[in-house]
């Protein structure tokens, strides 16, 4: 359901320009594949598990102030005890022993991770090489702002906040895409109108001296 009235249809189009300037689906803009499925909550159980797991890690390190080495050792101790009980119970109750392959990471996961890492590194090289000067300046500005924000937050809080935004904003944008695009288009138009008013009422009234002709020798 549109959030604008019919009286505004003359000023704003019924189908506003997309926020990211592309008509491609958000899933395609995020690269597609498993990463996009997780960010857009196509697999809700997996996305929820990742978000809950990251929240637990943040809580243990930031709130409980667990030491990383201590947490790692305690985790492996619990896993070893669980595997020992499973193995002993399998002999006593005639259960199937745990297949070692169930706790191994598939090679396809590493290939996917390496492919994504290489794609990011190549994109970093393209931006840093100056092929797109506008993107280069935006990247430098973003990193500078991020470094300033980092002075007021711990690294873990900053990473966790960014991760929560990454796990929620794309899914919310996909769900309310038309409304967000309309508001962004309207805000852009309002800013342009405001600049035109300032330009006509203030900037154009500033007296300017006559241009001096260059002397030719």
pLDDT of 11 above 50: no
- pLDDT confidence of 208, banded at 50, 70, 90? low
44-58 and 155-175 helices cross at what angle (nearest 10)?
A: 160
Question: In which element (H, E) is residue 41 found?
Answer: none
Structure tokens at 165: 């935004």
Structure tokens at 26: 């958000």
Q: Tell me: the pLDDT tens digits for 119-173?
A: 889 988 988 887 778 888 888 998 899 888 888 888 888 889 989 999 999 888 8
The span from the CA of 181 to the CA of 184, in Å, is 5
Is 0.75 surpassed by the pTM of this model? no
Q: Tell me: the pLDDT tens digits for 14-24?
A: 555 666 555 67
């Amino acid at each position: 359901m549109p959030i604008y009235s019919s009286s505004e249809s003359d000023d704003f189009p019924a189908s506003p320009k997309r926020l990211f300037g592309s008509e491609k689906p958000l899933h395609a803009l995020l690269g597609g594949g498993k990463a996009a499925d997780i960010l857009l909550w196509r697999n809700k159980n997996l996305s929820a598990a990742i978000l809950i797991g990251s929240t637990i890690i943040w809580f243990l390190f930031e709130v409980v102030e667990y030491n990383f080495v201590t947490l790692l050792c305690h985790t492996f101790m619990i896993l070893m005890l669980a595997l020992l009980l499973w193995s002993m119970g399998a002999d006593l109750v005639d259960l199937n022993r745990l297949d070692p392959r169930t706790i191994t990471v598939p090679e396809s996961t590493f290939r996917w991770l390496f492919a994504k890492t290489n794609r990011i590194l190549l994109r970093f090289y393209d931006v840093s090489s100056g092929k797109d000067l506008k993107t280069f300046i935006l990247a430098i500005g973003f990193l500078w702002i991020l470094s300033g924000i980092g002075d007021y937050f711990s690294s873990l809080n900053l990473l966790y906040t960014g991760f929560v935004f990454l796990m929620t904003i794309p899914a919310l944008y996909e769900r309310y895409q038309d409304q967000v695009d309309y508001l962004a288009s309207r805000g852009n138009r309002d800013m342009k109108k405001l600049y035109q008013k300032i330009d006509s009422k203030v900037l154009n009234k500033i007296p300017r001296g006559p241009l001096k002709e260059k002397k030719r020798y």
